[in-house]
Amino acid sequence: MLTRKQQELLLFINERLGKDGVSPSFDEMKDAVGLKSKSGIHRLITALEERGFIRRLPHRARALEVLKLPPGAGEQISTLAVIEGAREQPVARRAPAMASNDDGTISLSLHGKIAAGTPIEALSDPTRSFDVPASMVGSRDCYALEIEGDSMIDAGILDGDIVVVERCQTAENGTIVVALVDDNEATLKRLRRHRDSIALEPANAAYETRIFGPDRVKLQGRLVGLVRSY
């Protein structure tokens, strides 16, 4: 859920990208949402980035990309690429599609099993689909994974559960995430950052926390829901 100021800024950025393909300046953003300082805009942008709504394009001046919009804001997203003030034409794209069903559910790609114990090789090719309540997903870009293992049982995540994961590349400390380790192993753990290290914490005292350098871990998503069959 976004705050009012976060949503106002997100929609303003998307509008400007759709209009002329250039991100607004911090001064323009400040005026648009009624803030007095650029530091406030920086905090809003960081929050939007952490929640997966935008991303900053690396090595590019004033370059932002809108990844998704909040519910009720429409589906058309504007993207751009800007280098040192040079402009490219904006490209309209559609928000990631997930199949909606008549019974109020959404069919998500089920990417196979992910370890909640020892990391296993990442599964990236969807082979099946899994239906979840539409309210669990909203407008977020999500996929489903089947849990294998017991390292997250104290967080209420059991072997055989289906977890719903929102695609993202950043997450706040304490968030349960899908982490890709060394580009070939994926695991579901709680994220902790400390200085220049990343800890992947289990929720089972029988397992140890694993600590990595930041270049060894890439986030693939964060947990937003769980479905259990009895």
| Backbone region of residue 227 per phi and psi (left: phi > 0; alpha: psi in -120 to 50; beta: other values) | beta
Set 23, 30, 78, 189: catalytic member: 189
Residue 221 parent element (H or E) = strand 217-227
pLDDT tens column, 57-68: 665 555 788 888
pLDDT tens column, 32-56: 999 888 888 888 888 888 888 888 7
Token reading at 226:
């769980």
206, with CB counted inside 10 A (0-12, 13-18, 19+), is: exposed
Helix residue ranges per DSSP H, the chain: 4-20, 26-33, 38-50, 134-137
Instruction: Assign domain 99-227 to its CATH superfamily.
Output: Umud Fragment, subunit A (2.10.109.10)
**pLDDT on residue 91:** 40
Secondary structure (DSSP) of 67-92: ----TTS-SEEEE--EETTEE---EE
- Tell me if residue 38 is catalytic: no
**pLDDT on residue 124:** 53
Q: Could you give the maximum distance between any two Cα atoms of the chain, in Å?
A: 57
Write down the pTM of the prediction. Answer: 0.56
What's domain 4-94's architecture? Orthogonal Bundle (1.10)
- Tell me if residue 189 is catalytic: yes
Set 19, 151, 218, 229: catalytic member: 151
Residues of the chain with CATH 2.10.109.10: 99-227
